[in-house]
A and B are shown apart, each in its own frame.
Chain A
Amino acid sequence: MTPVQTAVMIGLAALATQLTRWTPFLLFRRRTPKVISYLGMVLPAAIWGMLVVYCFRHGPLIAESNGLAEALAAAVTAALQAWRRNMALTIAGGTLCYMMLVRIFY
Chain B
Amino acid sequence: MSGSSSRQEGAGTVAFAAKAAFRTSLPILVGFGFCGFSYGVYMRSLGFEPFFPIIMAMAIFAGSLEFIMASMLAGPFAPLTVFVMSLVVNARHLFYGIAMLDRYRDTGALKPYLIYGLIDETFSILGMGHIPEGADRRWYYFFVTLFNESYWVLSTAVGAFCAGNLPFDTRGIEFVLPALFIAIFVDSWQKEKQHAGSLLGLVVTLLCLIAAGAEYFLLPSMALIVFFLLLFRRKLSSAAGGAQ
Min Cβ gap A103→B in Å is 7
Contact in complex: A21, B118 (CB < 8 Å): yes
Which residues of chain A have C-beta atoms less than 8 A from B209's C-beta? 53, 57
Contact in complex: A12, B181 (CB < 8 Å): no
Which A21-49 residues have a C-beta within 8 angstroms of B?
A: 21-25, 28-29, 32, 35-49
Which residues of chain A have C-beta atoms less than 8 A from B76's C-beta? 1
Min Cβ gap A92→B in Å is 6
Contact in complex: B68, A51 (CB < 8 Å): yes
Complex CA–CA separation, A90 to B188 (angstroms): 14
User: Cβ of B182 < 8 Å from any Cβ of A?
Assistant: yes
Contact in complex: A87, B184 (CB < 8 Å): yes
User: Cβ of B150 < 8 Å from any Cβ of A?
Assistant: no
Complex CA–CA separation, A81 to B214 (angstroms): 28
User: Cβ of B154 < 8 Å from any Cβ of A?
Assistant: no
Of all chain A residues, the one with the shortest Cβ separation from B197 is A45
User: Mostly helix, strand, loop or mixed at chain B's interface?
Assistant: helix
Which B16-46 residues have a C-beta within 8 angstroms of A?
A: 30-31, 34-35, 38
Selected from A24, A47, A88, the residue in CB contact (under 8 A) with B34 is: A88
Which residues of chain A have C-beta atoms less than 8 A from B185's C-beta? 48-49, 51-52, 78
Q: Give the total of B residues in contact with A, Cβ under 8 Å.
A: 92
Given contacts A52-B202, A88-B34, A103-B172, 15 further A-B contacts (CB under 8 A): A14-B61, A16-B82, A16-B84, A17-B86, A42-B237, A47-B91, A47-B225, A51-B64, A53-B209, A61-B178, A73-B178, A74-B182, A78-B185, A87-B187, A95-B176
Q: Which 7 A-B pairs have the closest CB atoms?
A: A49-B201, A24-B97, A16-B86, A46-B201, A99-B172, A94-B179, A98-B175
Q: Which residues of B contact A (CB under 8 A)?
A: 30-31, 34-35, 38, 55-56, 59-62, 64-65, 68-69, 72-73, 76-79, 82-98, 100-101, 104, 111, 115-116, 118, 170-190, 192, 195, 197-206, 209, 214, 217-218, 221-222, 225-226, 229-230, 233, 236-237, 240
Between A and B, 19 residue pairs with Cβ closer than 8 Å are A10-B59, A10-B73, A13-B85, A14-B61, A17-B65, A20-B87, A23-B97, A28-B97, A39-B91, A44-B188, A48-B181, A55-B177, A61-B174, A70-B178, A81-B182, A87-B183, A87-B184, A95-B175, A99-B172
Q: Which residues of A contact B (CB under 8 A)?
A: 1, 5-6, 8-25, 28-29, 32, 35-58, 61-62, 70, 73-74, 77-78, 81-82, 85, 87-88, 90-92, 94-95, 98-103
